[in-house]
Amino acid sequence: MKNNLTNKAADNIRILSAAMVDKANSGHPGGAMGGADYANILYSEFLKYNPDDMSWPFRDRFFLDPGHMSPMLYSVLALSGKFSMEDLKNFRQWGSVTPGHPELDTERGVENTSGPLGQGHTMAVGAAIAERFLSARFGEWMSHKTFSFISDGGIQEEVSQGAGRLAGFLGLSNLIMFYDSNDIQLSSETDEVTTEDTAKKYEAWGWKVLTIEGNDTEAIRGALKIATEEKEKPTLIIGKTIMGKGAVTDGGDSFERKVSTHGQPLSAAGASLDKTIENLGGDPKEPFQIFPEVEELYKKRQEELRQWVKEFEAEKEKWEKANPELAEKLESFLSGDIPEFDFAALEQKANTATRAASGTVLAAFADQVENMIVASADLSNSDKTDGFLKKTHPFAKNDFTGAFLQAGVSELTMACVMNGLALHGGVIPVCGTFFVFSDYMKPAVRLAALMELPVKYVWTHDAFRVGEDGPTHQPVEQEAQIRLLEQLKNHHGDNSMLVLRPADGPETTVSWKMALENTDTPTALILSRQNIKDLPANSDRYTDALQAEKGAYIVENDANPDVILLASGSEVATLVDGAALLRERDGLKVRVVSVPSEGLFRNQEKAYQEEVLPVNVPKFGMTAGLPVTLKGLVGDAGAVWGLNSFGFSAPYTVLDEELGFNGENVYKQVKIFLGK
C-alpha cells in the first residue's frame, strides 16, 4: 500500500513536469520524468529540513546539478508546499519564480543556481566540507547531510573528476549523490560518447557505490538507508532510470527511452501529452493539480519534520546552556556578521609584493577570523595563502579541525567548492591561484556573481612580470575579462563583483578590509609577484590607502595639474617615478591617481569622480594588461600605455625595460601625448 502511494506521488511529479514543459513550449521533460521516483522518496522520507523556515541552518541540503531538470525540482517542492500551481504554470516566463534553470531561492527550497553541468554537485562537495568544518568545532549534534543529483552530462563534465577525487580523499560520508543514469543525452545516446565504468571510477576515488534500478521504490529506499548510515565514504547511488518514464504515443505505445524527450516538450518529441497524463493517472484537462492522497502524504511528512525540528531545537538549547561561549560563537558564524579585525594595527613590510602583503593579512586572519576557510590550487607557497596555512593545517579524512583546503591542481573544482561553502553558510571562503588560471575558474566565478556569494579570490602573479615562465603564465587580457563583472549588474542592481588591484602593501591591507566587509558579492584581489615601492604618504600610508574604499583616489597632486596619470597595481609606483621626471625636467604639474576598482569608483557621487578625475584635464593611463582596461577612465581624448600582445619569457626587470614599464617611458609617452 505504501509503495502504491509512493509511486502515485512520483507519477504526480511526472505529470507536473511534462505539463510545465508543454505549457511553456520549452524545456526538458524526459529526465525530470525519469528522476521523479528518487526525488519523491528523498523529499517524502529522507530529507530533513524545517518546513516553516527553509533557511534554517541545520537542515539537510539538496543540490541539483542538471539544471535542465528543474521541472522535477519545482514539482517536488510544489508537493512540499513551496511552489503553487500558478508558479508551475508560469514556468520559464517573464517574472516567474520558476526560471528554466533553477536560481538560488532558499526560502522556496532551491539551494543553488544550476545550469552549467558539473557545477551543482561540486558545490555540494563544498557544502559537505562546510558542515564537517562546523561540526568539528561545535559538535556532532549539529551534523546533517548534503544530497546531490547528477546526470550523464554532469558525469562527463571534467569538473566531476575534481569533485569526485576531493570528496573521496576527504571521506565526506555526509555527502550522498544520486546519478540519474538513463543512457540518454541531448543529441545522442551515451554509448556514442563514452564506455567508461563510472562505478569503478568512483570506487577508485574512495566512494561507496551502489547500483540500483532507479525507478524502483524499494531499491531507492534501501540505497538511501545504506547511504545515510555510511560513516567513512561519500556515497554514489547509480540509478538506472528510464528517460521519459510513462510517456506514450497517441496510440498508447510506449515512448520511453527516447533522445527526443531530453530537450523538447513531449508533444514536439513525438509523444502525446494527453495520453501520457492519462497513462500516469492524471486528468489531461487539468494536469496542474496535486492528487489528494499525495497532498496528504506530504502534509504528513511536514508534520513529522516539525516534530523533528522541535526535538532538535530542544537538544540545541541544552547544548547552548552547557556551552554558552561556543553557542555565542556559533550564532556569530551563522549570522554572517563581519568578524572584528583591527586592520590599522597590521604592519606590512616596506616595498613588498602585494601577494606577500596579502599573505601577511591572511596570517593575521588565521589567528583572529575563526570561520575562514582558505584554499589553494597547489600554489599556496606562491600565491602566499601559506600565510594562513602556516597557522593551521589542511583538511584530511576524519579531521576537519584545520581550516585549509589543499584543492590540488583543479582550479574550477576549487572555485565551485568555494561556492558550496558560501551557500552552506557559517564560513568565509577564500581561494588562491595564479591570475592567469582565473580562465579555468571563470564559469564558477560567474555563478558566484549571479548568486551574489561573498567568495574571496586571491589571484597572484598579476601581469607579464611572471617573467621567465613565459606567456602561458602571464595574464594580459584576464584583468579586462574579470573587470567586466564590475560593469555587469546582478539582479539587485549592484556591481556583480568587486575587483581590486592594490598598488602597494598598505593598499593591499585596505583591499582585504574591503573584501572582508563585502558580504554581498564576490571579491577579487589581483596581486603582484614582484616587489613594489610603497606609494608616497601624505600622512600615514595606511590612512591614505583607506581612500581606496572609494575605488580611486589621489596619491600625489600638484595644484592645477597639466596631466593626470592613473593606474592600478604596480603601475601606480611606475607613474610616480614618471611624474617625478615630468616635474624635474619640464616643470609640469602632475596628479597621480590609484584606481584599484573602477567599478567601485563609478558608484561614487559624480562630484567625487570629477574631483579625482576632472573632465578638462588630459589623462594618461598605464596598465600591464590590455589598454581597454583603463580606456573608460582616460576618455576618448586620453591615452593608455598597455600591452597589446601576449607576454614574453625573460626576467621581469628585462620585460619592464623592453615593454616600456618604467619611469623613463612614462615621461616619454606623456610628452608625446601632450604634444610637448
Where would I find the beta strands (DSSP E) of 462-614? 498-500, 523-526, 553-557, 563-567, 590-594
What's the pLDDT tens digit per position in 517-552?
999 999 999 999 999 999 999 889 999 999 999 999
Q: What are phi and psi of 127, to 5 degrees?
A: -65, -40
What's the pLDDT tens digit per position in 90-137?
999 999 999 999 999 999 999 999 999 999 999 999 999 999 999 999
What's the pLDDT tens digit per position in 402-412?
999 999 999 99
Residues 452 and 504 in one domain: yes
Residue 303 bears catalytic tag: no
CA separation for the pair 644, 626 (Å, rounded): 6
* pLDDT at position 89: 98
Q: How many CB atoms lie within 10 A of CB 323?
A: 14
> Which of 284, 304, 324 is the last residue in one of the domains?
304
* pLDDT at position 318: 98
Mean pLDDT of 17-45: 98
* pLDDT at position 549: 98
* Active-site pick, 111, 131, 256, 411: 411
Quickly list DSSP for 287-303: -S---HHHHHHHHHHHH
CA separation for the pair 46, 225 (Å, rounded): 8
Which residue range forms the structural domain that includes residue 522? Answer: 343-526
Mean pLDDT of 642-670: 97
Per-residue exposure over 565-598, b if at least 16 CB sit within 10 Å of its own CB, e if not:
bbbbbbbbbbbbbbbbbbeeeeebebbbbbbbbb
Mean pLDDT of 57-72: 98
Report if residue 370 sits inside a domain.
yes
Q: What share of the chain is helix, strand, coil (3-state, %, to 5)?
A: 50, 15, 35
CA separation for the pair 503, 511 (Å, rounded): 10
Report if residue 161 sits inside a domain.
yes
Residues 238 and 375 in one domain: no
Residues 111 and 181 in one domain: yes
Give the end-to-end CA distance of the chain in Å, rounded to a whole number: 92
Q: What rounded mean pLDDT belongs to the chain?
A: 98
* pLDDT at position 539: 85
CA separation for the pair 17, 33 (Å, rounded): 7
What's the pLDDT tens digit per position in 511-521?
999 999 999 99
Report if residue 539 sits inside a domain.
no
CA separation for the pair 269, 265 (Å, rounded): 6
**Which 8-state DSSP code applies to residue 337?**
P
What's the pLDDT tens digit per position in 331-379?
999 999 999 999 999 999 999 999 999 999 999 999 999 999 999 999 9
Query: Which residues are within 8 A (CB) of 481 and not within 5 positions of it... i.e. 6 or more apart?
Result: 438, 442
Where would I find the beta strands (DSSP E) of 456-541? 456-460, 498-500, 523-526
By CB atoms closer than 10 A (0-12, 13-18, 19+), residue 104 is middle
Confirm if 220 and 37 have CB atoms less than 8 A apart. yes
CATH code of the domain containing 437: 3.40.50.970
Say which amino acid occupies 192: E
Residues 187 and 72 in one domain: yes
676 confidence band (pLDDT: 50, 70, 90): confident
* pLDDT at position 2: 75
Mean pLDDT of 429-441: 98
- pTM value is 0.98
What's the pLDDT tens digit per position in 371-397?
999 999 999 999 999 999 999 999 999
Q: How many domains are there within the chain?
A: 3
What's the pLDDT tens digit per position in 176-230?
999 999 999 999 999 999 999 999 999 999 999 999 999 999 999 999 999 999 9
Confirm if 210 and 238 have CB atoms less than 8 A apart. yes
Strands 372-376 and 428-434, bridge-based pairing? parallel
Residues 413 and 450 in one domain: yes
